[in-house]
Structure 1
């Protein structure tokens, strides 16, 4: 956020700010993924206990302590937690879109282009492939004689 208040003075400062912006986006992505896994787990629990008798005993982990309750008590709490997680994910997705837009604006402002690592590797493999073709050619010709 400090990058908005003052203009970067050199390429290194721009690169640092850009790297920080990308790191922020990656953190939000990983948090969204983590929360989506928790929502999935909540759904599995809900689907598993919903058809069961409401007076049946079940156990719930609360702050590292396993507590005995009934399905009637636990099911609404698990559903409420799942809804809360889904709301947090929605807010994180909004924040992610905002950060991606800021990053795109920053890239446009400073004309940032990313070199793909794959492009460099592809060029190297093409050279290796042509070198291997040259080695295979004479070996194949020697076998035919």
Structure 2
């Protein structure tokens, strides 16, 4: 896939649209990876908070490469904290990459005068704005069965 700055320029509107879609896809992948890693950081925090006040010589189990290993809290706690710090660094780098990608996309949009049309704009106009904005919400029948 050619880049807008360094590589060859897109030949037609379809090539521009394809490049733009690829860039948006990359942006979405970065967003999802950040979310996934932030959840892992949260899990590491929960584990750290749960085992920190306990006796350091107490038995503790840790999953390492799919194998459950018995250790002590004294051995596991520093490893969990190091993993958490490493994950936080990766999240920070991904956030930097996200900002860079957003800037690249906005420059691409400006260069090729891209405006986003909402695919569901017609649906909202036909059914009213309030109903259109409630997409994804599942509500059971009003009366319900008792």
Superposition TM-score, scaled by structure 2 size: 0.84
Q: Distance in 1 between matches of 2:40 and 2:64?
A: 15
Residue 94 of structure 1: CA displacement?
A: 0.1
More helix by share: 1
Q: 1:100 aligns with which of 102, 115, 125?
A: 102
Residue 27 of structure 1: CA displacement?
A: 0.3
Q: Distance in 1 between matches of 2:119 and 2:21?
A: 16
Alignment of 1:1-145 (within 5 A): 2-4=2-4, 5-126=7-128
SS at 1:67 equivalent: strand
Runs of at least 5 residues in structure 2 that lack an aligned partner in the other structure: 129-146
For this pair of structures, how many residues does the alignment match? 126
SS at 1:2 equivalent: coil
Which residue does 1:135 correspond to in 2?
Answer: none
Q: Distance in 1 between matches of 2:66 and 2:121?
A: 49
Q: Distance in 1 between matches of 2:60 and 2:100?
A: 42
Superposition CA RMSD, Å: 1.0
Q: Distance in 2 between matches of 1:118 and 1:16?
A: 21
Runs of at least 5 residues in structure 1 that lack an aligned partner in the other structure: 127-145
Q: Distance in 2 between matches of 1:2 and 1:10?
A: 13
SS at 1:8 equivalent: coil
Residue 25 of structure 1: CA displacement?
A: 0.2
Q: Distance in 2 between matches of 1:41 and 1:124?
A: 44
Q: Distance in 2 between matches of 1:122 and 1:74?
A: 53
Q: Distance in 2 between matches of 1:57 and 1:14?
A: 59
